[in-house]
A and B are shown apart, each in its own frame.
Chain A
Amino acid sequence: MKKGFALLVALLLQVCFAASVLTAENIKLSFMFWGSPAEDQAIRKALKDFEGANPGISVTPLFATYSGAEYDAKMKAMSESDTLPDVGYFGGSFYDYASNNFFLDMTPYIEKEGLKKDYLPQTWLTYKDKIYGAYTAAESQVVYYNKKTLQDAGVALPPTDYKKAWTWDQYVSAWTKLTIDKGGKHPGEAGFDPKKVVRFGVFHETWDQMLFPVVWSNGGDIFSEDGKQILIDTPETIQAIQRLADLRNKNLVMSSPGLTEYNSTSKADPKVLLQNGQIGFYVSGQWELLDFAGMNFPLGIGALPIQKKPAQLYVSGINVIFKKTKNPDAAWKLQKWLMSPDKTLDLYAKGLWMPTKSSWYTNKEDLAKWVNNPAHPAGFKEAVLDSMTISRVAPARIKNYTQIWSEFVNPEMDLIWLGKQSAEVGLKKAAAKVRASGLLQGLW
């Protein structure tokens, strides 16, 4: 009897111990993100690698097929219902959320591990001196072209040194030479029919972030440093925007607009058009490299056009840990993993991201790890990487930025790109409306 009892107790203890070990070890995290199908697969691999290196923690990937405003909205809905993920991408309304206590303060973790100095200074997003978010990566604007198309058309390849790039006008003349209609004529030649164009010289993305380097290069700006003024109607900004609009309506080197919002699927994929030789140049973000890597054609990279001075953009999604997470330590581990280029090399080597860890720009070995591969064509270093030293962060701290841009600026932009109003008229109208709206409230 006693023996039996002791056995039972031992068994019970074993079961309890096993249960506690199992439940203690099996931490479940969820990670929410957006991107292309290729990015989906790359992230999933990174998460699986994380699980492999951290037995006992499992991560459920939550892939959103939409980004931008919808993603924000989904986040809001999830917060309403307490179903927020542990870690995830974040976008526009970062400061709204930070100020409402939605994110975990990462400062203690970062200071304990002394990470701050290892990363580019602009990586950390703070609110009231606490670090609530970290930029997922460093992303920028890039000028892509199809080498074969240019060679066949007898157009010189653009320089790659960002300090010695072609001027805007030099680019326009290259684009003009590339634009050809059914009858073989170029814009400006007698008989050129803009409605029968077989190849356009360029497709330049025109969603908000893609405009900034163009504006900055001409010495203009969108908002003042303190966020209290809107500067889109300054002469320099007007001139820059007009130059972009002219590509379509005056120079005739760019196709008529799809619509301004980035989520538009109305255009044929410019990357495919570039491959087919239906456009000569494509100006977009460096994340396109991930998809270009899977396409077989001679990709070239040129330095961004210089108007008054070189300019470059620093843009990225933000990684955050949500405050309501039940496993802050595990969540931090995941966050750190995603910020470590050596653990998630694929995401960098395949071209999707550029690292936020400083050493990966300066240290020759680390640099080679992610740059020396076919996904990063020649010219990448001088045109893109080096230009990051002069890059400016996209305005994120401006209060009400999304609403200002979407409700007041974009509709005027639509008409500017269509050529129905000049940049001067449109931007002045938009600026006046923004000033009257009371939405300009400075920075967070």
Chain B
Amino acid sequence: MTFRKDTLWGWLFCLPLALGLTIWVAFPLGVAVVMSLFQWNMISPAKFIGLGNYVFMFFTDHLFWQSLYVMALYTVLSVPLQLIVAFGLALLLNTKAKGMGIFRTIFYLPSLIPVVVSTALWLWMFNPQYGYFNLILDTLGLPTQEWLSSPDMVIPSLVLMSLWSVGNIVIIFLAGLQGIPKELEEATQVDGGNAWHRLRHVILPFMSPVIFYNLVMGVIAGLQVFTQPYIMTNGGPANASLTYVLHLYKQAFQFSKMGYANALALVLLVLTIVLSLVVFKSSDKWVYYEGDKK
């Protein structure tokens, strides 16, 4: 194929991507940047205030710092736990036991239930009077909890709920596990290694790229958590579950501070990029790729 023809075909096929990046990414980003310099409530004309929104954000808006804290707490708690639980489940499912198909469906089930319903179910389970969890705690003789009604327990409760919908992560781990060459596993068996040994020296290193991928995705998702606090607690009690994106949403749609909301969004973007780069950089230390010799 000649050089020019390649370029022609390449760009032709990639036209949707190029257009998509322009229309759905570059342009909105541009609009967001411009709008963040204005004050606009959607019904009166916009007012240019330069960096006013950013000044307000960092020096006056106490909810900005609160929401950052909430988002950080949620991410720090949920991501490692999700990875561990999902990995454990993937190991369990990676067997040739009968009925694996059914079990896989069961563990994936929570991701298939509409979010409106799963939040309702969990709200009931968390209910201090009538809920499942306190019923179990009580039967076991343990003290009952306030769950979502307590400023201290609300984020841990949401984290607990997030462990239930790890279906997507499990599937990806499972795919990774099934890609481990049989020879490697058999080799350690012959050497007299036990299960724990296999885990540490074969499975984990081999899976490190997959773990890395899920880690990055998990962090990005954790920073954006919105739907559950939105439906279940609306940021309460006393803003203890006001995640960053929820704060943004409220500023935009409940108080109509469109300019400010866009400023918040851009700060989040910067934060996400920085954190992703940090995780990427650290990956050199612990992620093994198949071709490498260590």
A interface residues with partner B (beta carbon < 8 Å):
69-70, 72-73, 76-77, 79-80, 93, 96-97, 100, 102, 195-197, 255-261, 263-268, 402-403, 406-407, 410-412, 414-415, 418, 420
**Is B255 an interface residue, CB under 8 A from the partner?**
yes
Q: Select which of A70, A73, A266, A403 is within 8 A of B127 by beta carbon.
A: A266
Chain B: which residue is nearest A267 at the CB level?
B127
A256 and B234 form a contact (CB under 8 A): no
A73 to B138, CA, bound (A): 43
Chain B: which residue is nearest A80 at the CB level?
B42
In the complex, chain B residues whose CB is within 8 Å of the CB of A257:
149, 237
Q: How large is the interface on B (under 10, 10 to 19, 20 to 34, 35 or more residues)?
A: 20 to 34
In the complex, chain B residues whose CB is within 8 Å of the CB of A414:
151, 236-238
A314 to B27, CA, bound (A): 48
B interface residues with partner A (beta carbon < 8 Å):
41-44, 63, 120, 123-124, 126-130, 138, 144, 146, 148-151, 231-234, 236-239, 250, 252-256
Number of A-B contacts (CB under 8 A): 92
Chain A: which residue is nearest B150 at the CB level?
A418
Chain A: which residue is nearest B256 at the CB level?
A76
B120 and A264 form a contact (CB under 8 A): no
A279 to B233, CA, bound (A): 23
B129 and A256 form a contact (CB under 8 A): yes
In angstroms, how far is the closest chain B Cβ from the Cβ of A263?
Answer: 7
Say yes or no: A69-B236 contact (C-beta < 8 A), given A76-B43, A266-B123. no
Q: Select which of A402, A410, A418 is within 8 A of B149 by beta carbon.
A: A418
Chain B: which residue is nearest A421 at the CB level?
B238
In the complex, chain B residues whose CB is within 8 Å of the CB of A80:
42
B43 and A100 form a contact (CB under 8 A): yes
In the complex, chain A residues whose CB is within 8 Å of the CB of B252:
73
Task: Name which of A72, A414, A415 has the most chain B CB atoms within 10 A of its CB.
Answer: A414
A371 to B138, CA, bound (A): 47
Chain A: which residue is nearest B231 at the CB level?
A265
A259 to B154, CA, bound (A): 12
B150 and A195 form a contact (CB under 8 A): no
A26 to B101, CA, bound (A): 57
A403 and B144 form a contact (CB under 8 A): no
Say yes or no: A73-B256 contact (C-beta < 8 A), given A265-B123, A266-B127, A414-B237. yes
In the complex, chain B residues whose CB is within 8 Å of the CB of A411:
236-239
A241 to B124, CA, bound (A): 28
A407 to B144, CA, bound (A): 30
Chain A: which residue is nearest B128 at the CB level?
A256
Chain B: which residue is nearest A195 at the CB level?
B144
Chain B: which residue is nearest A200 at the CB level?
B129
A73 and B254 form a contact (CB under 8 A): yes
Chain A: which residue is nearest B129 at the CB level?
A255
A402 to B237, CA, bound (A): 18
In the complex, chain A residues whose CB is within 8 Å of the CB of B231:
265
22 A–B contacts from the bound complex (CB under 8 Å):
A69-B253, A76-B41, A76-B43, A76-B256, A79-B43, A80-B42, A100-B43, A102-B43, A255-B128, A256-B146, A256-B149, A257-B237, A259-B233, A259-B236, A260-B237, A264-B234, A265-B120, A266-B127, A266-B233, A406-B255, A410-B236, A418-B146
